[in-house]
Amino acid sequence: MISQKKIASSMICLLLFLLLPIAFSEPTRILDGRSARAPTVQQIRNRHGTREVIVDNGIIRVSFSSPQGLITGIKYKGIDNVLNPHLRARGYWDVTWQGENIRQGLDRIEGTKFRIITQNEEQVEISFSRRWNGGSRHIPLNVDKRYIIRKNTSGIYTYGIFERLPEWPEVEMGLIRIAFKVNPDRFHYMVVADNRQREMPTDDDRDIHRGHAKALAYKEAVQLTHPHNHLFENQVDDKYQYSCEIKDNKVHGWISTKSHVGFWLISPSDEYRSGGPIKQELTSHVGPTTLTTFISEHYVGKDMETNYRAGEAWKKVLGPVFIYLNSDSTGNNPRKSLWEDAKRQTKEEVEAWPYDFVASSDFPSRQERGIVTGRLLVNDRFLTPARSAYVGLAPPGQAGSWQTNTKGYQFWTKTNETGYFTIDNVRPGAYNLYGWVPGFIGDFRYQNRVNVAAGSKISLHSVVFEPPRNGPTLWEIGVPDRTAREYYVPEPYKNTLNPLYLNHTDRFRQYGLWERYTELYPNHDLVYTIGVSNYTQDWFYAHVTRKIDDSTYEPTTWQIKFHLPYVNWRGSYTLQLALASASRANLQVRFNNENSRPFFSTGNIGRDNAIARHGIHGAYRLYSINVPGRLLRTGTNTIYLRQAKAMGPFEGLMYDYIRLEGPSRD
Ligand SMILES: *[C@@H]1O[C@H](CO)[C@@H](O)[C@H](O)[C@H]1NC(C)=O
Ligand SMILES: *[C@@H]1O[C@H](CO)[C@@H](O)[C@H](O)[C@H]1NC(C)=O
Ligand SMILES: *[C@@H]1O[C@H](CO)[C@@H](O)[C@H](O)[C@H]1NC(C)=O
Ligand SMILES: *[C@@H]1O[C@H](CO)[C@@H](O)[C@H](O)[C@H]1NC(C)=O
């Protein structure tokens, strides 16, 4: 017995000895291997008798309705469908539009023709296209939806070629996107960023009619009163809490903790997006849904140029984006390993841009693109390199016009510490060079057009941005960074909070913060005294209306008090007023007399909805207001900022930065 025991235990020791080194020598990130067989395409009729196209590369098996070209199934790692099998639309492109006789159209762009574009050892590219036939049922557009499935690749590339002919009727296109509804039985954990990820409620938890949730101020936001997971009770769910600036919107998606599988939407480039690098877009949200918008009015509003006039031609390639799947059957922390792997894959996709395997000649290769280099200097009293400045090429227009541009391509980068920049992979075309510099007000536009030819390398040497300034700074409020981040952001309400944003850098993403204004200033509005007040505590992040009761709101007037030891009566002072957001607002400015006619008024501006949608900014606006010295006094002065529109809780503004400049010395 004893000897047998001894033998057994020594065998265990030997086994352990043999196994341990293997266990320890394994890399920390273990992701499941790939299979390298050529992808196949099959056209079949499924059991309902409808046509399908199936592409299979041994790793994923993707089914498309044909010739519509909706993605109906993704089989991966033994999961029959990673997408939601209970919904008809699970993986689709769509457009919202208005045209002749169509007030609010939603077009899911179902193709009418299927073609195989490429099929070889390495990859399959297929097309589902539709030409406009003149009817009013569909948006007047020719659309070619492309899907690429490559060998040894765990995902699907997709891009769309959208084209409008000049003779077609006028149309308004508000939104173009691609959306996926993933399987709700498996995917519960959502990731938007390192510090923005959580277990999510379900679609059913949001159901107001079944008494699971309560409606809030607008339909996207609900208070979860009876969620399936009691931990979510009294939390808020609102997809806009997961919005992201385009420059940071490279990868987001869902993890199935049970199946150890991740589903990711990777955007390797921003060239095909609208509105520039800091425009915000939706990402993933309850559904479980994951999407990417190519064109939208989100956080800018109707100012986006989404109208196509009769006579106007347009063609744009949207994408490719990459739908990436990963799995980690061995790891014991799939949330971490799958997210880390998704970020690694994103880096790989960004480095591979522009992809060299895209068949369409409308997508120029790296050799067919150009490079623009230069150095940006900023001259605000003295000349300095513009460090960490944003510079970009966008269609020709006024300074700042890129903010509302949807029709062309944009190429953005940031300058280095000494102001140098390189914008590469630029599609051939005519552009303006635009930019802005954190810490300075205003928009830069280089005076000359930049014409990029295929394969060209253009060096602009030094370009100088002169930010608006008419005189020395007398005082300032905030920092010029195009956001209201630095101001006072109140605590959320206990019964409508999202715990994700407690103690978080993005505290402004909580629901209902705007309502705190009326509590803080029930009778008298905000008064800010230069030299005494501190904008981090005393300047509310949004200039909102005051709630009187559920249906009555009133305009509010903020005051800035400041002391002038001396006034040059003949001099011209300047109030630099930079706004980070405006929603159906009208800002009136008065000097030292609250009851006078406004000295300056913005008129009705903005539909960016950034207050309701928890963006800390929308579109940027700068007003340089000339203030004659005769309006000012020696001693105490007051500037009255009145936001005069007050239909409801969401008319209002966010300030970026305010500065009073003395008269010019020269
Ligand atoms: C397949 O892809 C994986 C991951 O990128 C790579 O490590 C492997 O070498 C590839 N296999 C083949 C046969 O290309
Ligand atoms: C900035 O870029 C220029 C041009 O590429 C380079 O010479 C310089 O070393 C860079 N400076 C820093 C601080 O990275
Ligand atoms: C907030 O975050 C900081 C830094 O991560 C941490 O030290 C602190 O304990 C957190 N506070 C709460 C209340 O979670
Ligand atoms: C304003 O308040 C912040 C936060 O409390 C503090 O860090 C900063 O030093 C204050 N600024 C001034 C000028 O007192």
Q: What CATH number does the domain containing 266 carry?
A: 2.70.98.10
Give the pLDDT of residue 3: 47
pLDDT of residue 9 exceeding 60, the answer is no
Residue nearest to atom 9 of ligand 2 (CA): 418
Task: Say whether both 285 and 411 belong to one domain.
Answer: no
Q: What is the pLDDT of residues 72-81, one digit of tens each?
A: 999 999 999 9
Which pLDDT band, with edges at 50, 70 and 90, does 637 fall under? very high
Confidence band for 103, pLDDT divided at 50, 70 and 90: confident
- Domain assignment present for residue 336? The answer is yes
Q: What mean pLDDT is predicted for residues 445-466?
A: 97
Q: Are residues 232 and 136 in the same domain?
A: yes
28, pLDDT greater than 50: no
Ligand having the closest approach to the CA of 502: 3
- Asked if 582 and 605 count as a contact pair (C-beta separation under 8 A), the reply is yes
Label residues 454-478 b or e (16+ Cβ within 10 Å = b).
eeeebebeebebebbbebeebebbb
Nearest ligand (C-alpha, residue 419): 2
Which of the listed residues 414, 416, 423 should we mutate to test ligand 2's pocket, taking the one with most ligand atoms within 8 A of CB?
Answer: 416
Residues with CB under 6 A from ligand 4: 534, 536-537
623 lies in a domain? yes
Closest residue CA from atom 9 of ligand 4:
534
Nearest ligand (C-alpha, residue 417): 2
Question: pLDDT exceeding 70 applies to what percent of the chain?
Answer: 94
* Residue 24 resides in a domain: no
Best residue among 59, 151, 152 to mutate for probing ligand 1, ranked by most atoms within 8 Å of CB? 152
**pLDDT digits 0-9 by tens, 254-305:** 999 999 999 999 999 999 999 999 999 999 999 999 999 999 999 999 999 9
Measure the CA–CA gap between 568 and 557, rounded to whole angstroms. Answer: 27
Q: What is the total count of domains within the chain?
A: 3
Atom of ligand 2 nearest to the CA of 422: 5
Q: Which protein residue has the closest C-alpha to ligand 1 atom 2?
A: 152
Instruction: Check which CATH number belongs to the domain holding 371 and give it.
Output: 2.60.40.1120
Query: Measured between alpha carbons, how far is 523 from 555 in angstroms, rounded to an integer?
Result: 12
Task: Report the pLDDT value the prediction gives residue 595, as an integer from 0 to 100.
Answer: 96
Confidence of residue 332 (pLDDT cuts 50, 70, 90): confident
Please check whether residue 648 lies inside any domain of the structure.
yes
Which amino acid residue places its CA nearest to atom 13 of ligand 2? Answer: 417
Any domain includes 578:
yes
Confidence of residue 36 (pLDDT cuts 50, 70, 90): confident
Asked whether residue 388 falls in the same domain as residue 527, the answer is: no
Q: Which residue's CA lies nearest to atom 4 of ligand 2?
A: 420
Ligand nearest to the CA of 487: 4
Residue length, the chain?
666
Q: State the Cα–Cα distance between residues 334 and 188, nearest whole angstrom.
A: 13
Tell me the pTM.
Answer: 0.93
Same domain, yes or no, for 536 and 630?
A: yes
Residues with CB under 6 A from ligand 1: 34, 36, 152
Whether 17 maps to a domain, the answer reads no
Q: Which protein residue has the closest C-alpha to ligand 1 atom 10?
A: 152
Please give the Cα distance from 291 to 516 (Å, whole number).
32
Atom of ligand 4 nearest to the CA of 537: 2
In 3D space, the residue among 545, 546, 613, 620 whose CA is nearest the CA of residue 585 turns out to be 545
Rg (CA), the chain: 28
Question: What's residue 21's pLDDT?
Answer: 38
Region 232-238 average pLDDT: 97
pLDDT digits (tens, 9 = 90+) for 161-212: 999 999 999 999 999 999 999 999 999 999 999 999 999 999 999 999 999 9
Asked whether residue 348 falls in the same domain as residue 394, the answer is: no
Mutational pocket test of ligand 4: of 534, 535, 538, 539, the residue with most ligand atoms within 8 Å of the beta carbon: 534
| Last residue in a domain, options 352, 376, 395 | 352
Which of 305, 326, 352 is at the close of a domain? 352
Nearest to 190 by CA among 373, 38, 40, 338: 338
- Is residue 34 one of the residues assigned to a domain? no
Domain that holds residue 378: 366-465
* In the predicted structure, residue 251 carries a pLDDT above the cut 80: yes
Please tell me the predicted confidence (pLDDT) of residue 2: 44
Query: How far away, in angstroms, is 395 Cα from ligand 2 center?
Result: 27
User: For residue 34, what pLDDT band results from cuts at 50, 70 and 90?
Assistant: low
Say if residues 496 and 511 touch (Cβ distance below 8 Å).
yes
Ligand 4 pocket test, pick from 536, 537, 539 with the greatest ligand atom count within 8 Å of Cβ, gives 536
Whether residues 167 and 88 fall in one domain: yes
Q: Ligand 3 center to residue 508 CA distance, Å?
A: 17
CB within 8 Å of 458: residues ≥ 6 apart: 370, 371, 372, 373, 450, 452
State the Cα angle at 118 between 115 and 119, rounded to 5°: 105
Query: Which ligand approaches the C-alpha of residue 385 most closely?
Result: 2
Per-residue pLDDT at 94 = 96
**Comparing C-alpha atoms, which of 266, 374, 391 is closest to residue 322?**
266
**Which numbered ligand comes closest to the C-alpha of 37?**
1
Average pLDDT on 69-93 reads: 97
Q: Mean pLDDT throughout 515-539?
A: 98
Same domain, yes or no: 501 and 631: yes
Specify the pLDDT at position 31.
Answer: 58
| Residues 433 and 559 reside in one and the same domain | no
CB contact at 8 A, 82 and 185: no
Q: What is the pLDDT of residue 32?
A: 65
Determine the pLDDT at residue 12: 45
What's residue 91's pLDDT?
98
Same domain, 281 and 371: no
What residues line ligand 2, using a CB cutoff of 6 Å? Answer: 416-418, 420
CATH of the domain at 533: 2.60.120.260
Mean pLDDT within 451-477: 97
Round to whole Å and give the CA distance between 315 and 311.
Answer: 13
Q: Assess whether 376 and 328 both reside in one domain.
A: no
Distance CA 115, CA 41 (A): 11
Domain boundary among 465, 490, 506: 465
* Distance between Cα 501 and ligand 3 center (Å): 12
Question: How confident is the model over 310-318, as a mean pLDDT?
Answer: 97
Å from CA of 421 to ligand 2 middle: 9
Note whether 435 and 503 are same-domain residues.
no
- Contacts for 583 with CB less than 8 Å, ≥ 6 apart: 301, 606, 607, 608, 609, 610, 611, 612, 618, 650, 651, 652, 653
Q: Which atom of ligand 1 is nearest to the CA of 34?
A: 1
Q: Which amino acid is at 239?
A: K
Q: Is residue 449 part of a domain?
A: yes
Rounded to the nearest angstrom, the distance between the alpha carbon of 420 and the centre of ligand 2 is: 6
Same domain, 543 and 439: no
Residue 503 amino acid letter? N
